[in-house]
Structure 1
Amino acid sequence: MAMRNLGKTDLKVSPITLGAFAIGGTMWGGNEKNDSIAAIRASIDNGVTSIDTAPFYGFGLSEEMIGEALKGRDRSSVQILTKFGLVWDGSNNGKGEYFFDADGTPIYKYASKANVIKEVEESLQRLKTDYIDLLQLHWPDSTTPIDETMEALELLIQQGKIKTAGVSNYSASQLEEAKKTVTLASNQVAYSMLNRTIEKELVPYTLENNIGIIAYSPMERGLLTGKYFKDGKLSESDHRNGYFGQYDLEKVKSFLDKITPIADSKNVTLAQLVLRWTVQQPGITVVLAGARNAEQAVSNAQALHFELTADELNLINQELTIFI
């Protein structure tokens, strides 16, 4: 599948992008460094040239491994998407908005101008690069005015340290406020077959204003791959032990059983079918797919190589009415 422009910008990204949350290990029961680096390299080698990460993922580890994995590669052939605004090291000095504890560490939302600039410098060092293709606010910070955060992003664009600016988890009204200061390339939000709330207000707004949507958790952190129902063992520190509980698992299993024949007919996995469905939804520019080893990375990339027909999409959507 051809690369896609992100919003009004010139930045082209792969429709399926490597989501590098899990390889950081935090909240995912740890990681295997060699496998993680292999996943990054296999993704790129198989056409998934965009990588989405964040300082919070592994408290810097995810970015560091990406920097290591990209050694010797043409930097212009890879698109690095990272974030800022989740502080775990106490550098916010009590400022910002307490969010939650991750593996026993307090996390704060903090998006002041000074903190944005500080975090970018740290990310550039970890990533071993002199620019970031897309820098995104990780979560809205109610203690910092939107225009202050956006002014920092505009400054970084002017300095050449970032190519484009985006946000994550923004509402349509927050996007409207932000665009007064900077042209946003994208909004990264949760979206999946089981979570389609953005279709009501956010998707129409982004389509009208030409802002890309980067969909995270399209496979509901592995639930929609079907693997959980075959081997439900998760490590004790894996946050999915609680996360999966928000869904009616019997309904999810029934739904997956009903769409499995479509996957079988195309000789693809459930995970690939789910990714493909998400890529083809209106308004969705990029779909994030995590991979913790090379095999998973190659499998994700293969979802770029087939399409769902209108009839197949309609059949899947009809089965999804079980969740309404």
Structure 2
Amino acid sequence: MQYEKLGNSDLEVSVVGLGTWALGSDFYGEVDDSQSIAAIRQAIDSGINLIDTAPPYGDGHSEEVVGEAIKGYREQVLIATKCGVYRDGAELVRDLSPSTIRKQVNDSLDRLGIDTIDLYQIHWPDTNVPLEETVAELEKLQEEGKFRYLGVSNFDKQLLEEITDLTNIVSLQPHYSLLQREIETEELPYCVEHNIGNLSYGSIGGGILTGKYDQPPEFDDDDKRSQFYPFYDEETWSQTLDLIDVMEEIAAEHNAPIVQVAINWVRQQEGITTALVGAKTPQQAKQNAGAADWDLSAAEIERLTKASNKVIK
């Protein structure tokens, strides 16, 4: 495993991180908790030290699973979670009010079974609460020792500028992959210029960049990933398959799984610190971590980027 410093913090994070959205058992279909715990521990044993979660993932269930999995492993891992989004039945509510943030951080600490969160992130912007109020409360919580470093997720360049005028952030968590590259225009260059790390989510396109589908899949009713990731639409499917053909050729040259090509293209982009990737099983966790054992060449990165351009335009 390779490690890099996260932005202007002293956190040394693995270049492949573990995302745990799927482990909430409410978005990617039902997941067996014992398998989830085994997957997390395999990720740790494979050198992954960054585990990312959030309260709305299963209405706190993902955090509970992470908390159980890291018992006895706390010194080996960095825990990242989020604030500002919660579930109200089936609805996701954005709320960055001070009272909600304070409740959420304490609830997260309880579910995770830890004293301090390593990286606390604003999950989504909330236009109903002035950013100054949110930041003021977060700074209080940081001073109280609830978390070590502050990051943001899903912020555009304007919001990045606003929050960096108010306080220090060490990271952005953006949606980024071979199929989603909007941040390359503004957000990624801003982060590079201001030494803000990036933890990409959706690094394998919700599973499509694993190469395991030869036709658009029909997901179960409890698997809602196609509602969030648009890459399974018929109109882009054939172009996506062309990209996967290129990925297959490169994977074969390295005797590696296709998913590692997707992960390595992301993590080798300038400004990306960690490619967050989900895993439901120990086998997936070990395979994802293995991406850090080799690098794409400059020519291979260019070839993949050109193939990606044909899909995203």
TM-score by length of 1: 0.92
Please give the per-residue CA displacement for 1:125-183, whole angstroms capped at 9, x wherever unaligned.
00000000000011000001111111122112211110100111101111111122220
Alignment check: 8 A CA contact 1:131 1:161 kept: yes
Indicate the RMSD between aligned Cα atoms, in angstroms. Answer: 1.5
**Cα offset for 1:234?**
2.1
SS at match of 1:82: strand
**Cα offset for 1:5?**
1.3
CA distance in 1, matches of 2:12, 2:103: 27
**Cα offset for 1:250?**
0.7
**Cα offset for 1:11?**
1.6
SS at match of 2:214: helix
Q: 1:280 aligns with which of 253, 259, 268?
A: 268
**Cα offset for 1:238?**
1.2
Would you say how many aligned residue pairs link Structure 1 and Structure 2?
Answer: 309
Q: 1:174 aligns with which of 159, 169, 172?
A: 159
Alignment check: 8 A CA contact 1:153 1:182 kept: no
TM-score by length of 2: 0.95
Q: Which residue does the alignment assign to 1:209?
A: 194
In structure 2, relative to structure 1, the CA distance for the partners of 1:246 and 1:206 (3 Å cut) is farther
> 1:232-247 residue pairs with structure 2 within 5 A?
232-242=217-227, 243=229, 244-245=232-233
Q: Which residue does the alignment assign to 1:142?
A: 127
CA distance in 2, matches of 1:87, 1:277: 32
CA distance in 2, matches of 1:27, 1:284: 26
CA distance in 1, matches of 2:225, 2:235: 12
**Cα offset for 1:203?**
1.0
Moved more, 271-280 or 179-188: 179-188
Alignment check: 8 A CA contact 2:260 2:291 kept: yes
Q: Which residue does the alignment assign to 2:44?
A: 44
Alignment check: 8 A CA contact 1:133 1:162 kept: yes
**Cα offset for 1:208?**
0.9
Q: Which residue does the alignment assign to 1:310?
A: 298
Identity of aligned residues (%): 40
Alignment check: 8 A CA contact 1:191 1:217 kept: yes
The one-letter code matched in structure 2 to 1:293 is T
The one-letter code matched in structure 1 to 2:294 is F
Q: Does the alignment pair 1:24 with 2:54? A: no
Unaligned runs of 5+ in 2: none
Please give the per-residue CA displacement for 1:75-100, whole angstroms capped at 9, x wherever unaligned.
232000000111224xxxxxxxxxxx
Q: Which residue does the alignment assign to 2:76?
A: 77
**Cα offset for 1:233?**
4.3
Unaligned runs of 5+ in 1: 90-103
Q: Which residue does the alignment assign to 1:101?
A: none
CA distance in 1, matches of 2:26, 2:117: 23
CA distance in 1, matches of 2:75, 2:132: 30
CA distance in 1, matches of 2:103, 2:291: 37
CA distance in 2, matches of 1:202, 1:40: 30
